[in-house]
């Protein structure tokens, strides 16, 4: 079941928190509850991905992305992810979650999140997120070619950021080498995959 109560709590807490910059780190603290466990009595790997929402959405509230999404009529969807699991998390353990936007290119935002047990990273995820806009009933091909948000579909991150009166987006942050390698690897991954039966 989706942690709706926990999400509501986080959103209320972060509405009162100070604003952060677009690329700043958002830190939140959580606990592993019995309903988060798998049969081996540790935090379930799939549940981990769900719990990452508890860091991602509140971060976007604090750094202003939620406001831009509402203002532009756009949405944000996960378009890919790579995760590493390194440390078990047991029932009732508290952990910190660190979330930040690394940067963006012409297609996606790139974000990293980590769950930490004090100084040890238990798991870490790299995500790419696509900005989406519902397609209108009549599609204007000129808008589509220009990458305009009015055209619908997936739009460039800079189109969303242009809705901000405060953000200076002239200098796009350079993505780290490990993120660039992941992007290249994903570009070479066949899609659709071969169906093996």
Residues sharing a CB contact under 8 Å with residue 61, sequence separation 6 or more, in sequence order: 11, 14, 15
User: Domains of the chain, with CATH numbers?
Assistant: 4-188 (3.10.129.10)
- Is residue 100 scored above 70 in pLDDT? yes
The pLDDT of residue 6: 94
Mean pLDDT calculated for residue range 117-141:
87
Cα–Cα distance for residue pair 179/131, rounded to 1 Å: 19
Look over the chain and give the mean of its residue pLDDT values, rounded to a whole number: 90
Assess contact for 82 and 126: CB atoms under 8 A: yes
pLDDT (tens digit per residue) in 133-191: 987 766 554 444 344 545 569 999 999 999 887 765 556 789 999 999 999 999 999 99
């Amino acid at each position: 079941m989706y942690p709706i109560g926990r999400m509501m709590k986080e959103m209320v807490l972060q509405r009162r928190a100070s604003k952060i910059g677009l690329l700043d780190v958002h830190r939140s603290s959580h606990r592993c509850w019995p309903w988060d466990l798998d049969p081996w009595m540790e935090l379930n790997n799939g549940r981990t991905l769900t719990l990452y929402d508890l860091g991602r959405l509140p971060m976007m509230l604090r750094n202003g992305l939620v406001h831009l999404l509402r203002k532009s009529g756009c949405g944000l969807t996960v378009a890919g992810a790579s995760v590493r699991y390194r440390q078990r998390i047991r029932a009732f353990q508290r952990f910190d979650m660190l979330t930040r936007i690394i940067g963006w290119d012409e297609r996606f935002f790139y974000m990293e999140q980590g769950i930490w047990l004090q100084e040890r990273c238990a798991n870490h995820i790299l995500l790419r997120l696509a900005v989406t806009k519902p397609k209108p009933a009549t599609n204007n091909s000129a808008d589509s070619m220009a990458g305009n948000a009015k055209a619908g579909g997936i739009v460039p991150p800079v189109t969303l950021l242009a809705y901000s009166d405060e953000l200076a987006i002239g200098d796009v942050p350079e993505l780290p080498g490990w993120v660039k390698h992941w992007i290249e690897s994903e570009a070479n991954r066949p899609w659709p995959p071969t169906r093996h039966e």
